[in-house]
Amino acid sequence: MKTFSRLAIVLAALVLGFSIGKAEDKIKEFGVTVYKMGEERATDKDAGGSFDKLLAYLEKKIEGAKFPRRGIRNNADEAKKLMEDSKKPTALGIVSPNFYFRHKDALKLTVIAEAQRKGLNGEQYVLIGASKAEKYPEGKKVATNLDDADWLNKVVMPTPEGAKPIQWVNKANIFDALFSILDEEDDACDFVLVDRVTLEAVEKDRALKAMPRGLKSDMLPQDLVVEVDGRLGDKREAIQKALKGLDGDDEGKKAGEAIQVPKFMDADEARLKAAGEKFSKGAK
């Protein structure tokens, strides 16, 4: 009897262990890394809670999947290191287009969606200053919160052949740079590079809204959702569907509001291709 009881216990343990193992096998982890160029507050401390709402939404929509946050960074090298970490693999990334073009081959990135920040389709930059920049401002100092000179010189404000390049001055706070021009401070830049969302805020400010708008960039891609090294597997389509339907229910709307992206869309392939060609070859 004792032998039978022991055997029964062993068999029960094996069955229980097998059942638990099978349940655990059904849950797959898809680590998420976020890189936001030009955003001082794009850190785990400042933005972690907001992005966790999006990840919780995805977990609710995608059966058998968890989306642990690997990290939120505003430094491209740090974001790349997270994506290269084999011990805590990243399967899903939300990155700026310049990051995608620079690292798409090394990290094996595939675009699966494009963000619509504040509901805007595409990103466009404009030069604002004390005077109107009607043509490329050769050699002028231009304030920007973007930290990739190649992206700026090749894609955002392409340097004409033979022209003296813009002197880019990194400024974390675009509004401070605008007020420096307005107040005619000694260290003020000649112009400030302003994105579409910031421009909306500028146009609501009594003092800044009268400042002349000048040269505009082409319409460019916004932040991209990328798959890393094919790691989404058979969950890819479900994740795409969930992202594109983000504004379809209250929980999704709250998640979108938290990250200022009410929905995602299929990437604009023509826009993406045009920007990629400029970035890889430089302006002609």
Q: Is residue 1 part of a domain?
A: no
Task: Note whether 274 and 159 are same-domain residues.
Answer: no
How much is the average pLDDT of 140-149?
A: 96
- Percent of the chain at pLDDT > 90 equals 87
β partners of residue 93: 33, 226
Of the three residues 168, 201, 216, the one that is the final residue of a domain is 216
Token reading at 85 = 């970490």
Of the three residues 216, 237, 267, the one that is the final residue of a domain is 216
User: What DSSP letter does each residue of 11-54 carry, written as one string?
Assistant: HHHHHHHHHHHHHHHH-EE-EEEEE-TT-TT-SHHHHHHHHHHH
Task: Note whether 107 and 164 are same-domain residues.
Answer: no
CATH number, domain with residue 148: 3.40.190
Task: Note whether 209 and 272 are same-domain residues.
Answer: no
Q: Is residue 164 part of a domain?
A: yes
How much is the average pLDDT of 73-82?
A: 97
Task: Note whether 190 and 164 are same-domain residues.
Answer: yes
Task: Note whether 115 and 240 are same-domain residues.
Answer: yes
Task: Note whether 196 and 225 are same-domain residues.
Answer: no
- Region of 21 please: left (phi>0), alpha (psi -120 to 50) or beta: alpha
pTM of the model as a whole = 0.88
Q: Is residue 160 part of a domain?
A: yes
Q: Is residue 19 part of a domain?
A: no
- Rounded distance, CA 158 to CA 278, Å? 8
Task: Note whether 209 and 243 are same-domain residues.
Answer: no
- Region of 136 please: left (phi>0), alpha (psi -120 to 50) or beta: beta
Place of tokens 């045009």: 274
Q: What is the pLDDT of residues 122-136, one digit of tens each?
A: 999 999 999 999 999
Task: Note whether 136 and 105 are same-domain residues.
Answer: no
Of the three residues 162, 192, 216, the one that is the final residue of a domain is 216
Q: Which domain holds residue 82?
A: 27-121+221-281
β partners of residue 167: 141
Q: Is residue 39 part of a domain?
A: yes
Token reading at 77 = 């090298």
Answer whether residue 239 shows pLDDT above 60.
yes
Answer whether residue 17 shows pLDDT above 80.
no
Task: Note whether 240 and 103 are same-domain residues.
Answer: yes
Report the domain count for the chain.
2
Task: Note whether 68 and 39 are same-domain residues.
Answer: yes
Q: Residue 175: what residue type?
A: F
